[in-house]
Amino acid sequence: MIDTRRLRTLRAVADHGTVTAAAAALHLTPSAVSQQLVALEHEVGHRLFTRDGRGVHLTAVGKIMLGHANEVLAQLERAEAEVAAYTTGEAGEVTVACFATAISAVLSPAITALRATSPGVRVRVLDAEGDHSLAMLLDGEADLAITVEYRGAPDAADRRLARLPLYAEPFDLVLPQEHPLAESATLVSLSDATWIGPYPGNPVHDVITFACRQSGFTPNLAHCSDDFRAVVALVGAGAGVALVPRLALRDMALTGVAVRQTPGPERRVFAAIRRGADAHPLLRPLLSALRAIAGSLGTD
């Protein structure tokens, strides 16, 4: 009989690409992960991975097993959800991995709303960029992720996840107040400008780079910060120009900068849970609150 714990290990190694990274995500030693993989191969009777340098790759049988592992683990999530529902599950903790802007825009208001509607639900928040939160969800470090569409993200057909669209957020141009194009700037007109933005790997970096390339140029990203307050402060100091998600600009002082709407780039924000967990009584009220808050944002 196949041990389901080894199926989780199989998925973690497939997701992370190395035994070492999977071990860190699962809070195990690399030796323990390797032993679980060997035991699983004995249970299945076939090799599941091949090694390539430090990385590992699924064999054809490994890919078959991974598909079944996703189904089995989703069914276990459903079983836990039904048991929790049967025993009411009105009190407990939900861990949410979420990026900073969405913490302010939707998660914090949802937590406030839950105090009135579901006071037994406690929310633990982990600040994580969009490209990290889904990995935390799949590795079991979080019960729910609030993240964005980004290059390389699991798509809507991914059998490991269930997704709830929340909102689409446009980007605004932010320029020094004294910039000669402060009143009329477009992306094309700023092709020769010095740009400020997040580091490569941050999903917003991809959005900005893609939007500029669609306008015919590659931005000269001379200054990098993942903190939008720092980005706006640098713009105010005259260090360059930036594209910033509109909700990130809310409640900022915006001293010394001009903000201009521009057509085109936006980021799509969604909540994700492990497939099968959508009926969990601790997740249902939180998802409902997130949906209601997101619907009232008004990002236009």
Instruction: Compare 190 and 130 and report the one with higher pLDDT.
Output: 190
Q: Above 80 in pLDDT, residue 89? A: no
Instruction: Give pLDDT tens digits for 14-72.
Output: 888 788 888 887 888 888 888 887 887 788 788 888 877 777 888 888 888 788 887 87
Q: Above 60 in pLDDT, residue 86? A: no
Positive/negative CA dihedral, 260, 199, 161, 110:
negative
Q: Helices (H), strands (E): how many in the chain?
A: 10, 10
pLDDT of amino acid 88: 60
Top-ranked range on mean pLDDT: pick from 38-42, 241-245, 252-256: 241-245
CA angle, residues 76, 127, 200, in degrees to nearest 5: 105
pLDDT mean over 111-115:
94
Cα-based distances in Å from 57 to 6, 34, 61, 68, 289: 17, 14, 11, 17, 40
Please name the helix (run of DSSP H) or strand (run of DSSP E) that holds residue 112, with its range, or none. helix 108-117
Amino acid 222 reads A
pLDDT mean over 290-295:
94
Give the HSE-up count for residue 215: Cα atoms under 13 Å, Cβ half-sphere: 18
Please name the helix (run of DSSP H) or strand (run of DSSP E) that holds residue 148, with its range, or none. strand 144-148
pLDDT-based confidence at 95, cuts 50/70/90? very high
Q: Report the Cα 136 to chain-centroid distance in Å.
A: 9
pLDDT of amino acid 300: 60
Q: Above 80 in pLDDT, residue 148? A: yes
pLDDT of amino acid 215: 92
State the DSSP code for 241: B
Q: How far apart are CA 247 and CA 100, in angstroms?
A: 11
pLDDT mean over 248-259:
91
pLDDT of amino acid 84: 67
